[in-house]
Amino acid sequence: MEKAGTRHTRQKQAIMDFLMSVETHPTADEIFNQIRRDLPRISLATVYRNLNTMVTEGKVIELHTSRNLSRYDANTRGHAHFICDNCEVILDLPLPFIETDTLTREGHRIHDTRLNLHGICRDCLSSTS
């Protein structure tokens, strides 16, 4: 028997498939508008409910922008994010400077890696020059 919230539904799969197909870190509204093309009867509440479940299950990362907008990322492998405080674009950044193998060899166990860098992106900087 499945635990509450762990059901695998067509809606949940559509949300995950969409998130895995993009690198843009979409909002729930953006996900809803895209998913609704294939599942016209899906509701925004269903999208939010499934996103919350996937975040709780560790399948999706929820990111907060400077305007406290939630954006979602299906890439749960260790990486950092650069978040522009002006246009709110989010970029994935590798984490080559964190030696997780060294920490593991020393007996530490890493459960999660989150590093968000906030600033102004080059596009916003160049448009103000």
User: What's the pTM?
Assistant: 0.80
For the segment 89-106, the average pLDDT, to the nearest whole number, is: 76
Q: Which residues contact 64 (CB under 8 A, 6 or more apart)?
A: 70, 71
Q: Which residues contact 123 (CB under 8 A, 6 or more apart)?
A: 87, 89
Of the pLDDT bands very low, low, confident and very high (cuts 50, 70, 90), residue 121 is: very high
Domains of the chain with bracketed CATH: 10-127 (1.10.10.10)
pLDDT attached to residue 94 = 84
Of the pLDDT bands very low, low, confident and very high (cuts 50, 70, 90), residue 20 is: very high
pLDDT for 37-59, tens place per residue? Answer: 999 999 999 999 999 999 999 99
Cα 13 to its chain centre, rounded Å, is 15
Q: Which residues contact 16 (CB under 8 A, 6 or more apart)?
A: 54, 59, 60, 74
